[in-house]
Amino acid sequence: MLQRVSYLCAAVLMVAMQPERLGAEQSGTALLSTRSPFRFEESDGKFLRLFEGDRLVLVYNFGMLLKEGVPEKYRRSSYVHPIYGLDGEILTDDFPKDHYHHRGLFWAWVRVEVDGKTYDPWAVGGDLLAKFEQWLGREVRESDVSFGVNNGWYVGDRKVADEKVGFRIGRADLIGRAIDVDLTIEATDKPVRIGGELPMKKGYGGFGFRFAPRQKPVVMSMADGKQPDNVIRKVSPWADYSAQFQDAKAVSGAAIFIDQSHPGFPNSWLLREYGYIGLTWPGLDLFTLEPGKPLHLRYRLWIHRGDAVSGRVTQAYAAYAGQEKAQPVASRAVAEKRPGVR
């Protein structure tokens, strides 16, 4: 297994180092399998769209975006929106009026301490921003597709942390689709501390999902069953949000699964009936990112038809927890830096 990972790591780095291959990637034609239903389409220097057949699966936003009518301070990049359900419905929201800083599938912390000063990239409008740097590779196969991206955390022109994100997206079946997300974050030259919301003791911050407008009722679920409208810092290995979104004809939803290797697993959550679920890690505490010691975080999205029961979320999590997961592109690109990788 180690030999396979090393080989794939080398292959991905070769793609990133070859300009002609990179140019092909940017045109949306790189590494295409003639039998694969997947294809990439890159446009406007801002958007990477992924299709399965003729149907959109998701869009990764690597350019700086701002919705018309929204204050300039909310301009941002490096997140996923839209994410589509199996029947073409949009599951995510961006720049919602109640929380302009919410942005599809995103990962950010309320407290980021650099040289004794605290920044809030969760709320976007401060001096610390995540910025796109380069692609780490794309792989299209018959059964799934992967891509990786390298971002930086910047205070002005100074890069304070390196962020690699790997995605692996599986084919949809009659019930659902798995999307693996693999984050590797490392401070550059000095330690950086990250933490969740503190004044109200909610602890939110980290990996989260803002859902699209929907009809009621909304059903939020965790490993112990259905939940009330608001959940604060409750522990569970997974959480799900299901509803009838926008003009969809039926209920659908999305669950977030936490990998068992996650620090502090199982972790706590914030669930909001208005359309948000996300981890509260490290919550009220602070976690220190150190140069040379990358933080590795793994999650899976389970995009499904129906609610958590008919979408077989419990069974999907059990399969996720019990299987050996293939490493997404970004993980393989840094595998040699992490001890113990098989």
User: What domains lie within the chain, and their CATH numbers?
Assistant: 2-337 (2.70.98)
14 — pLDDT class (breaks 50, 70, 90) = very low
pLDDT for the residue numbered 21 = 30
Which whole number is the average pLDDT over 77-89?
A: 97
Instruction: Return all residues near 9 (Cβ < 8 A) that are at least 6 apart.
Output: 332, 333, 335, 336
Handedness of CA 213, 320, 337, 31 (dihedral sign): negative
Tokens of 82: 């839209």
Q: Which of 4, 2, 52, 45 is nearest to 27 (CA)?
A: 45
Tokens of 289: 């990112």
| Angstrom distance (rounded) from CA 162 to CA 330 | 12
> pLDDT at residue 35 above 90?
no
> pLDDT at residue 336 above 80?
no
pLDDT for the residue numbered 20 = 30
pLDDT for the residue numbered 247 = 80
pLDDT for the residue numbered 8 = 32
More confident of the two residues 37 and 23: 37
Residue 15: its H or E element: helix 2-17
What is the pTM assigned to this prediction? 0.87
3-state secondary structure of 154: strand
Amino acid at 173: D
pLDDT for the residue numbered 32 = 47
> pLDDT at residue 330 above 60?
no
> pLDDT at residue 337 above 50?
no
CA-angle at 199, arms to 77 and 116, nearest 5° = 65
Q: Which of 6, 11, 55 is nearest to 30 (CA)?
A: 11
- Residue 338, number of CB atoms within 10 A of its CB: 12
More confident of the two residues 205 and 247: 205
pLDDT for the residue numbered 125 = 83
More confident of the two residues 5 and 72: 72
Which whole number is the average pLDDT over 155-177?
A: 97
Question: What's the chain's average pLDDT?
Answer: 88
| Angstrom distance (rounded) from CA 145 to CA 38 | 7
| Angstrom distance (rounded) from CA 323 to CA 236 | 19
Residue 286 class from Cβ within 10 Å (0-12 exposed, 13-18 middle, 19+ buried)?
middle
pLDDT digits (tens, 9 = 90+) for 110-139: 999 999 999 999 999 889 999 999 999 999
pLDDT digits (tens, 9 = 90+) for 173-231: 999 999 999 999 999 999 999 999 999 999 999 999 999 999 999 999 999 999 999 99
More confident of the two residues 5 and 84: 84
More confident of the two residues 49 and 9: 49
| Angstrom distance (rounded) from CA 313 to CA 302 | 7
Q: Which of 214, 205, 211, 226 is nearest to 275 (CA)?
A: 211
Tokens of 87: 């029947």
Instruction: Return all residues near 158 (Cβ < 8 A) that are at least 6 apart.
Output: none
Which whole number is the average pLDDT over 30-44?
A: 79
Residue 205 backbone class (left: φ over 0; alpha: ψ -120 to 50; beta: rest): left
pLDDT digits (tens, 9 = 90+) for 274-307: 999 999 999 999 999 999 999 999 999 999 999 9
Sheet holding 117-119, edge to edge: 117-119, 111-114, 192-195, 286-289
| Residue 220 and residue 238 in contact, taking contact as beta carbons nearer than 8 Å | no
Tokens of 48: 């990477």
| Angstrom distance (rounded) from CA 172 to CA 311 | 12
CA distances from 6 to 76, 202, 270, 292, 330 (A): 34, 41, 38, 20, 13
pLDDT for the residue numbered 15 = 36
For residue 337, the 8-state DSSP code is G
